[in-house]
Structure 1
Amino acid sequence: MASIELDRITKRFKDTVVLDDVSLSVEDGETLALFGPSGAGKTILLRLLAGVIEPDAGRVLIGGHDMADVAPEHRRIGMAFQNFALFPHMSAFENIASPLKARRTAGAALSEGVDKIARLLKIDHVLTHSPRALSNGQKQRTALARALAGEPDVLLLDDPLRNVDAKLRFEMRLELPQVLARQQATAIYVTQDYKEAMALGDRIAVLSGGRIVQVGKPEDIYLTPADVETAQLFGDPTINLLDVTPELDDRGPFVCLSDRRMPLDPGLRHAVGRKCRIGMRAEAIRFVGPDDPGAIAVTVEAETPLNEKAVTLTVTKRGREILVSRPSETQGPSDTATHIAIDTAHALLFDRDSGQRIAPGAAADQQAGAAA
């Protein structure tokens, strides 16, 4: 195993800054999910770690050693890609064996190494097949096996499940953490799927616009996102966002939604009078009767069943759209005219101009949720 450290990495292509002063640490044996939208710079970051390209500024350290003068083949890194990148003229066995051969492993040791990882990934029955004879799932597992066969200190996985079917993605989300734990490699797993990031990462690093905007445990990223963009990227359905201006009375800070007073965390007094956006997860909103103390009158516009849950689009009297999520086995509203109540204890407050989350108890000008 080996730790990874990116120390103030900057990478440009002509006039475009792809990575901007990025610092990131991954502990020995940790799996870090690197999450971000397309074009955020995730793959470039992996290539820098692998030594395929060099940074314009900053340092890459693996196991505490500066990689500035270390060639890619000497970094003890395994990689798997979203497009599989298998050698077409080699069998699955030969593909998996290639990193072992590069280390001059031969004979029984080579066969044993291939068979061990093939059994672990359940592809030992297709080792004689060429890549064109493999299903996408088998290709994906073969690519993973090749990355793991050399027992690398560092494993870089570039969205390897993107081109496989939904069933296999689900299965691999369950299997991969066990595989990575057995290999004891330090891993960075790139993905654009927030569910995948939350399922596979010991921690998640959110990369956006070439910068790390937040690093934390999966539940922390979901419950306390650093900014509006991160809040929108995590969650299905997307978070509800409404423009508000917090006010203050003798009971503490609050916002008004459809003439209803919605109390805020007492620690948000410093947000009073600021132009904000309140974020409310769909599962923090429920249907209630008209006599509920926090009832807001809404009209049901549409409802979408999503297997384990149902998502309802409602509209307030002032025309604001609010999504409500509930378990599919529970009863929904019986009429298009109904009421909802919002659990403001789980509401998030963002500065309307900067998009940064306003943390309870923080100074008025502090940007909460900064990258760790």
Structure 2
Amino acid sequence: MATLELKNIVKRYKGQAVLDDVTLKVADGETVVLFGPSGAGKTVLLRLIAGVVDPDEGAILIGGEDVTDVDAEYRGVGMAFQNFALFPHMSAFDNIATPLEARRQAPGAIKAGVESVAKLLKIDHVLSHKPRALSNGQKQRTALGRALAGSPPVLLLDDPLRNVDAKLRFEMRLELPRLLDTQGATVVYVTQDYKEAMALGDRIAVMSQGRIRQLGTPEQIYLEPATIEIARLFGDPTINLLDVKPAKDGRGVYVGLSNVQVHLAGPFEQAVGRDCVIGLRPEALSFVRADAPAAVPVTVEAETPLNEKTVTLVRTVRGREILVSRPAGTPGPVSGNAHIAVNPKSALLFDRATGDRIGANKVVALKSGEAA
């Protein structure tokens, strides 16, 4: 059983904590993605799990066994690095074979193991080539093959697609889940690409400043971000964030948007009269007729086609900018006055001072009211 558990991990460099009380449990066969900006501590955490560096505090357990003080070669961990880290004087075959040779397997077993993983990764035709003769995509697959070859119970992948071209990155996003499922390993995957995180992770651990700020499924992270910071990290185009001060009438708590009251469902009474921020995903907004229920008046400023979608910049009656996204080919205004509607289940409300999300994230109605 290859469960991975991190307990209250702390790592300091020159007195500064780069990892601060990190606790995480990864189930057997699960893929958890560490996602966050550069400097969040993602790669350092991988190196701690691998045994390359030691924590200052806390414990690391693999399969229920404390390996905090166990040398790297005895942890049963495979790792693929962002920069490939291939031996330049060795062929692709020999690079992939290194973990098998370290275990002193028989030549026949090494050959079978290398050829099996190379066929899986579609690089069996370049096994005799040295790294300088390989494309970036082939180098990436060779590095991944080396990590997979020993069938490690725990697999650590440090942003392995960052240095490959867009086409291969897209292809590998589709292929990697199948490969990892075939391997059956417990996987910790680092990336700064939110699309990659959502495509590959069973769960996503969002990191910032050495801490895990939110842990959940891709759907949970996207639809219910814990903070404004996390909400901004997911989505293209980015989420719309507007300052508001919730009020209350006979129908409940509401915020104003272009002379329309947006009534919020959930325990938002605590937000009444406080400085807050409402978050609206661009794809959760749509253009509607002026006489449609709860139509919010806006002015169209610009339209940008982006292949599979069209993004429109609009302004509210108070001049605040909002992005509206719709599938390519869907009709929509290109200039002048227009009206938009909010998906009733889409609104997010945050405390402006702390950035934390408040209560539930549902909108139940839109009615005429004060401008926001």
Question: Structure 1, residues 43-68: CA drift from partner, whole Å, max 9, x if none?
Answer: 00001001111111111111111112
The aligned residue for residue 328 of structure 2 is 328
Measured after TM superposition, the shift of residue 344 of structure 1 is 4.1
Quick check: 1:263–1:344 contact (8 Å CA) kept in 2?
A: no
Residue 267 of structure 1: SS of its match in structure 2?
coil
In structure 2, how many angstroms separate the alpha carbons of the residues matched to 1:201 and 1:41?
Answer: 18
Question: Structure 1, residues 52-96: CA drift from partner, whole Å, max 9, x if none?
Answer: 111111111111111122100000111001111100000000000
Measured after TM superposition, the shift of residue 345 of structure 1 is 2.5
Quick check: 1:265–1:345 contact (8 Å CA) kept in 2?
A: no
Question: Structure 1, residues 89-120: CA drift from partner, whole Å, max 9, x if none?
Answer: 00000000010000001221110000000000
- In structure 2, give the amino acid aligned to 1:29: G
In structure 2, how many angstroms separate the alpha carbons of the residues matched to 1:317 and 1:69?
Answer: 62
- TM-score normalised per structure 2: 0.95
Quick check: 1:155–1:187 contact (8 Å CA) kept in 2?
A: yes
Quick check: 1:252–1:266 contact (8 Å CA) kept in 2?
A: no
Quick check: 2:257–2:316 contact (8 Å CA) kept in 1?
A: no
Correspondences of 1:152-163 after superposition (within 5 Å)? 152-163=152-163
The aligned residue for residue 82 of structure 1 is 82
Q: Does 2:154 match 1:143? A: no
Q: Does 2:241 match 1:241? A: yes
Quick check: 2:258–2:298 contact (8 Å CA) kept in 1?
A: no
The aligned residue for residue 91 of structure 1 is 91
Question: Structure 1, residues 226-272: CA drift from partner, whole Å, max 9, x if none?
Answer: 10011000111100000111111111111111221111114322322
- TM-score normalised per structure 1: 0.95
Residue 261 of structure 2: SS of its match in structure 1?
strand
Measured after TM superposition, the shift of residue 334 of structure 1 is 4.6
Instruction: Specify every segment of 5 or more residues in structure 1 that has no aligned partner in the other structure, as ranges.
Output: 362-372
Residue 267 of structure 2: SS of its match in structure 1?
helix
The aligned residue for residue 65 of structure 2 is 65
The aligned residue for residue 291 of structure 1 is 291
In structure 2, how many angstroms separate the alpha carbons of the residues matched to 1:38 and 1:337?
Answer: 41
In structure 2, how many angstroms separate the alpha carbons of the residues matched to 1:121 and 1:13?
Answer: 38
Mean CA deviation greater in 258-267 or 28-37: 258-267
Q: Does 2:311 match 1:319? A: no
Mean CA deviation greater in 333-342 or 281-290: 333-342
Measured after TM superposition, the shift of residue 338 of structure 1 is 1.5
Quick check: 1:29–1:185 contact (8 Å CA) kept in 2?
A: yes
- In structure 2, give the amino acid aligned to 1:296: V
Residue 350 of structure 1: SS of its match in structure 2?
strand
| Identity percentage of aligned residues | 67
The aligned residue for residue 309 of structure 2 is 309
Correspondences of 1:130-209 after superposition (within 5 Å)? 130-209=130-209
The aligned residue for residue 366 of structure 2 is none
Question: Structure 1, residues 289-348: CA drift from partner, whole Å, max 9, x if none?
Answer: 222232222222221111111111111121100000000110120532222122242100
Residue 335 of structure 2: SS of its match in structure 1?
coil
The aligned residue for residue 9 of structure 1 is 9
Q: Does 2:48 match 1:37? A: no
Root-mean-square deviation over aligned CA pairs: 1.2
In structure 2, how many angstroms separate the alpha carbons of the residues matched to 1:201 and 1:68?
Answer: 25
Question: Structure 1, residues 212-234: CA drift from partner, whole Å, max 9, x if none?
Answer: 11111110000001100110001
Residue 129 of structure 1: SS of its match in structure 2?
coil
Residue 175 of structure 2: SS of its match in structure 1?
helix
- In structure 2, give the amino acid aligned to 1:343: N
In structure 2, how many angstroms separate the alpha carbons of the residues matched to 1:95 and 1:115?
Answer: 12
Quick check: 2:301–2:335 contact (8 Å CA) kept in 1?
A: no
Residue 20 of structure 1: SS of its match in structure 2?
strand
Q: Does 2:213 match 1:213? A: yes
In structure 1, how many angstroms separate the alpha carbons of the residues matched to 2:49 and 2:184?
Answer: 18
- In structure 2, give the amino acid aligned to 1:25: K
Quick check: 2:266–2:359 contact (8 Å CA) kept in 1?
A: no
Quick check: 2:79–2:157 contact (8 Å CA) kept in 1?
A: yes
The aligned residue for residue 116 of structure 1 is 116
Quick check: 2:100–2:149 contact (8 Å CA) kept in 1?
A: yes
- In structure 2, give the amino acid aligned to 1:227: T
